[in-house]
């Protein structure tokens, strides 16, 4: 460790490596530290080797999750090097197309926490499915879902559209973007609302876009002449963009077998969409989180700016993960913007086990497979000296 400390602080020498650790299945198993995880983080801190935590988990504000994690691991951690699945959504507040003043709908395991996360980021008008359900319970014709009965609902910023209303549409509620921040709990209500919005005209609930259907131009002739009707197609009528933060179909939880994650919810929505469109259109959505480049770019930016602040260059980045489809594929496929080499290391303490969890081929093939996070860091440090 002393060798690294001097290397890390000196200039003009090989830059030290950094680490990106997955959490579930690498540092923690459910809420308990994986043996060796805490010591490994302490070793890196003592050695001045930078690391970030890069998880597809989410659903709590970063500060709350970091506090909780620090306690569980017994290691001081900071939000500066902590990236949850939804953390990069803050980028959508920047620049000319900023969503800051737009109306966004968020869902996840806990509606109120999801709202708190987005309000904390700076989104000004954040709605949850509970708000919409409270304004019109007929939108969901079954038993009220648990989170709506707790009545955290807030009044809507504009009247919810109803077909019989005489108000002009523009004075009704318009949803500008929809976000899934972690694993939804009330799938049925969420699927209903998201489907309604995907079929709507311009994000106004209660409307149905006249452009739904395959894109086409039809000509009709009548006594008054020939008229052409253009159908723009599915999701072509100003419907809100759909964002997901985590594509993991499975993740490592308390149960002996992996559990369905946000990716399963996404697949369910895509399945409903395929039925509704008669298979005519793929569900258009934007997904971040591992393995997507947006998330690795965001993570690399965090590491690179920290390195810059200390007057050094970004060295090799070791991504230590338990899921070949997210952690490993993402690191393998990522094209660095800071000239760093990303090296993937797969551990045996999570989702992937020999004979289960997919073949380690192509983009899923890690540079190295090791038993656990401690072995991963030992292997990497050995290579770097």
Strands 259-260 and 18-21: unpaired
Measured from the Cβ of residue 74, the count of other Cβ atoms closer than 10 Å reads: 12
Residue with smallest beta-carbon separation from Mg ion: 25
Exposed, middle or buried: residue 238 (CB in 10 Å: 0-12, 13-18, 19+)? middle
Least separation, in Å, of the C-beta of 319 and Mg ion?
Answer: 11
Q: Which of residues 179-218 bind ligand G3P (CB under 6 A)?
A: 183
Verify cis geometry, omega within 30 degrees of 0, for the bond prior to 360. no
Contact present, 111 and 130 (Cβ < 8 Å)? yes
Residues 274-313: x where in contact with Mg ion by CB under 5 A, - otherwise, as a string: ----------------------------------------
- Structural tokens at position 103: 């109306």
- Structural tokens at position 156: 């809507």
Contact present, 20 and 318 (Cβ < 8 Å)? yes
Is residue 248 involved in binding ligand G3P (CB under 6 A)?
A: yes
Q: Which of 7, 8, 15, 22 binds Mg ion (CB under 5 A)?
A: 22
Q: Which of 40, 47, 55, 209 binds ligand G3P (CB under 6 A)?
A: 55
What angle do the packed helices 37-47 and 2-9 form, to 10 degrees?
Answer: 50
Is residue 25 involved in binding Mg ion (CB under 5 A)?
A: yes
**Length of the chain in terms of residues written:** 385
Q: What separation in angstroms does the CA of 268 have from each of 188, 191, 275?
A: 10, 8, 11
Least separation, in Å, of the C-beta of 248 and ligand G3P?
Answer: 4
Binding part of the chain for Mg ion, among 15-23, 159-167, 175-183, 358-366 by CB under 5 A, reads 15-23
Q: Which of 47, 56, 148, 207 binds ligand G3P (CB under 6 A)?
A: 56
- CB nearer to Mg ion: pick between 22 and 131: 22
Least separation, in Å, of the C-beta of 139 and ligand G3P?
Answer: 27
Q: Which of residues 149-168 bind ligand G3P (CB under 6 A)?
A: none
Q: Which of 15, 25, 240, 291 binds ligand G3P (CB under 6 A)?
A: 25
Binding part of the chain for ligand G3P, among 5-13, 55-63, 158-166, 218-226 by CB under 6 A, reads 55-63
Least separation, in Å, of the C-beta of 121 and Mg ion?
Answer: 24
Is residue 22 involved in binding ligand G3P (CB under 6 A)?
A: yes
Task: Report the half-sphere exposure of 156 (CA within 13 A, side-chain side).
Answer: 22
3-state secondary structure of 384: helix
Least separation, in Å, of the C-beta of 158 and ligand G3P?
Answer: 33
Please choose which of ligand G3P, Mg ion, none residue 261 contacts, taking the beta carbon within 5 to 8 angstroms, the exact cut-off set by kind: ligand G3P
Is residue 24 involved in binding Mg ion (CB under 5 A)?
A: yes
Is residue 322 involved in binding Mg ion (CB under 5 A)?
A: yes
- CB nearer to ligand G3P: pick between 109 and 336: 109
> % helix / strand / coil in the chain, to the nearest 5?
35, 20, 45
Task: Report the half-sphere exposure of 96 (CA within 13 A, side-chain side).
Answer: 0
Cα 199–Cα 174–Cα 188 angle in degrees, nearest 5: 50
Give every CB contact of residue 61 below 8 A, 6+ residues apart in sequence. 113, 116, 117, 120
Please choose which of Mg ion, ligand G3P, none residue 183 contacts, taking the beta carbon within 5 to 8 angstroms, the exact cut-off set by kind: ligand G3P
Q: Which of 246, 266, 277, 344 binds ligand G3P (CB under 6 A)?
A: 246
Contact present, 313 and 15 (Cβ < 8 Å)? yes
Nearest residue to 45 via CA among 71, 69, 81, 12: 81
Instruction: Please give the residue ranges that form the binding site for ligand G3P (CB under 6 A).
Output: 22-25, 55-57, 183, 246, 248, 251, 261
Instruction: Please give the residue ranges that form the binding site for Mg ion (CB under 5 A).
Output: 22, 24-25, 322-323
């Amino acid at each position: 460790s002393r060798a690294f400390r001097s290397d890390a602080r000196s200039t003009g020498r090989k830059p030290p490596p950094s680490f990106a650790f997955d959490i579930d299945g690498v540092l923690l198993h459910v809420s308990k530290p994986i043996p060796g995880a805490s010591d490994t983080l302490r070793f890196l801190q003592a050695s001045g080797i930078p690391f970030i935590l890069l998880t597809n988990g989410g659903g709590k504000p970063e500060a709350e999750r970091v506090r909780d994690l620090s306690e569980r691991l017994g290691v001081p951690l900071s939000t500066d090097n902590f990236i949850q699945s939804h953390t990069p959504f803050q980028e959508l507040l920047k620049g000319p197309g900023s969503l800051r003043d737009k109306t966004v709908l968020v869902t996840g395991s806990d509606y109120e926490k999801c709202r708190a996360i987005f309000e904390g980021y700076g989104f000004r008008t954040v709605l949850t499915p509970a708000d919409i359900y409270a304004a019109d319970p007929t939108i969901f014709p079954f038993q009220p879902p648990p989170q709506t009965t707790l009545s955290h609902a807030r009044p809507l910023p504009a009247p919810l559209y109803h077909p019989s209303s005489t108000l002009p549409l523009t004075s009704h509620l318009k949803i500008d973007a929809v976000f899934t921040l972690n694993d939804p709990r009330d799938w049925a209500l969420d699927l209903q609302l998201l489907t309604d919005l995907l079929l709507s005209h311009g994000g106004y609930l209660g409307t149905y876009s006249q452009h739904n259907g395959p894109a086409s131009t039809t000509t009709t002739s009548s006594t008054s002449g020939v008229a052409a009707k253009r159908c723009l197609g599915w999701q072509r009528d100003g419907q809100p963009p759909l964002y997901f933060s985590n594509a993991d179909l499975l993740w490592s939880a308390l149960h002996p077998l992996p559990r369905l994650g946000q990716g399963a919810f996404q697949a369910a929505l895509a399945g409903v969409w395929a039925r509704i469109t008669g298979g005519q259109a793929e569900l258009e959505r934007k997904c971040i989180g591992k393995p997507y480049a947006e998330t690795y770019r965001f993570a690399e930016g965090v590491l690179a700016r920290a390195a810059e602040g200390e007057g050094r260059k970004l060295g090799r980045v070791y991504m230590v993960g338990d899921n070949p489809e997210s952690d490993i594929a993402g690191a393998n496929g990522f094209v660095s913007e800071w000239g760093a080499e990303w090296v993937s290391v797969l551990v045996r303490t999570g989702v992937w086990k020999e004979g289960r969890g997919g073949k380690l081929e192509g983009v899923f093939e890690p540079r190295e497979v090791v038993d656990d996070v401690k072995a991963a860091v030992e292997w990497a440090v050995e290579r770097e000296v």
